[in-house]
Amino acid sequence: MNDIKQSESSAKHGALHGLRVIDLSRVLGGPYGTQALADHGAEVIKLEPPDGDETRGWGPPFLDETAWYYVGVNRNKKGMAVDLSCDEGRAILWQLLEGADVLVENFKPGTLARWGMDYERDLRPRFPRLIHCAVSGFGADGPLGGLPGYDAVIQAMAGLMSVNGEREGPALRIGLPIVDMVTGLNALAGILLALAEREKSGQGQSVDIALYDCGVSLLHPHLPNFFGNGRTPQRSGNAHPNIAPYDSYATRTAPIFLAVGNDRQFAKLCAHLGIPALAEDPRFADNRSRCAHRAELKAALEARLAAHECEPLARELMASGVPCGPVQTVDAVAAHPHTRHRGMLVEMDGYRGTGTPVKLSRTPATYRTKPPALGGDTRRVLDALGIDRETQARLFAAGVVKG
């Protein structure tokens, strides 16, 4: 009977209902991962320094004096403002950890140890079931260990910029913080793996997630290609280094991106464009040949595409089984009916956000609260910890907490 009730509760509140996460992370990687935990039902208590997560000021645009950058990755969380650099602030954290399943932090390596909260030495003996997830730039040791890491810096150092940009142009930063976001997803995956293992062993463990590792992990297929041929990968614009036609192509109106992955799809493309003989041309008969004759292939395709409007053609090709799509702007993506149909827009009480891409059939994600104001839940969390109002007043007056 208890199992049935627990199953019903999970279905109503999310797959991670009952899980408590203490989130000490700031900026993007950690908060992105903890928002995913919160969307799926975990209770996430976010502790910020009294001045707040620095991304609160990363605007414009702003929502009620808080940058939309912060708003984008901190919904469904309870917010506290606590000065962890002082003993009394850390005493509150120790109390929070008494009932916690997961601790997420992205302090510079060594910070927790300096505070008497090293995982192996201090946390593990006291909280043997606790999952500790440390997000850092380069990890704690090694030639770059302990150095600070930021998304764009890792994009540069991990080789991502070297393969991004036009063939004759300079190396370019990818136009979104992809390393930070993948780091958040890897933190999420690591936490869930550790929780799954804890079900068998009853023991927690530490999860080590470094931006540098996550950046290097994104080098597919460039790193495998380098392993295979020893040649340093170069920039190729929108073209894929291993597949053709896999590039953006001019039409009469706007660019279309063709992602043709096999000979059958290529034959369908050529037939739809009225050039079936192109698929039988020895230069284009298979992917290896097409890659060897990219320039001729692009010229032949664009000569036919010039007669077509991008969006109608994309719809027709997709319907016929040819992977492609118009190159859309962000406003067009937000307005697209499929974006809303897939639940990728979240709206509540002045808040707009990006929905979760993880769709669970029985225990779906829920969107419960807007991102917290700085210290917006401090008093409620202190009450729940049993800290009396006189003590709370002293902590507020001393600047240990804010709310």
pLDDT recorded at residue 13: 86
Per-residue pLDDT tens digits for 156-176: 999 999 999 999 999 999 999
Q: Is the pLDDT of residue 401 over 90?
A: yes
**pLDDT tens digit string along 233-252?**
999 999 999 999 999 999 99
Which tens digit of pLDDT belongs to each residue from 132-154? 999 999 999 999 999 999 999 99
Establish whether 180 is a catalytic residue: yes
- pLDDT digit string (tens) for 302-332? 999 999 999 999 999 999 999 999 999 999 9
Mean pLDDT of 282-289: 95
Domains and CATH numbers, the chain: 2-218+346-402 (3.40.50.10540), 256-326 (3.30.1540.10)
**Average pLDDT of the chain?**
95
3-state SS string over the chain? CHHHHHHHHHHHHCCCCCCEEEECCCCCHHHHHHHHHHHCCCEEEEEECCCCCHHHHCCCCEECCEEHHHHCCCCCEEEEEECCCCHHHHHHHHHHHHCCCEEEECCCCCHHHHCCCCHHHHHHHHCCCCEEEEEECCCCCCCCCCCCCCHHHHHHHCCCHHHCCCCCCCCCCCCCCHHHHHHHHHHHHHHHHHHHHHHHHCCCCEEEEEHHHHHHHCCCCHHHHHHHHCCCCCCCCCCCCCCCCEEEECCCCCCEEEECCCHHHHHHHHHHCCCHHHHHCHHHCCHHHHHHCHHHHHHHHHHHHCCCCHHHHHHHHHHCCCCEEECCCHHHHHHCHHHHHCCCEEEECCEEEECCCCCCCCCCCCCCCCCCCCCCCHHHHHHHCCCCHHHHHHHHHHCCEEC
Q: Is the pLDDT of residue 4 over 70?
A: no
Cβ neighbours of 2 (radius 10 Å): 6
> What is the structure's pLDDT at 8?
55
Q: Are strands 256-259 and 246-249 parallel, antiparallel or unpaired?
A: antiparallel
Model confidence band, residue 1 (pLDDT cutoffs 50, 70, 90)? very low
Say if residues 175 and 164 touch (Cβ distance below 8 Å): no
What was the pLDDT predicted at 212?
Answer: 98
Alpha-carbon distance of 248 to 279, in angstroms, equals: 19
> What is residue 147's predicted lDDT score, i.e. its pLDDT?
93
As a whole number of angstroms, the distance between CA 215 and CA 358 comes to 22
Query: How much is the average pLDDT of 368-381?
Result: 96
1-5, 195-199, 265-269: least confident range: 1-5
Distance of CA 115 to the CA centre of its chain: 29
pLDDT per residue as tens digits for the range 34-84? 999 999 999 999 999 999 999 999 999 999 899 999 999 999 999 999 999
Q: Which of 180, 247, 263, 383 is catalytic?
A: 180
Distance from C-alpha of 62 to C-alpha of 253, rounded to nearest angstrom: 35
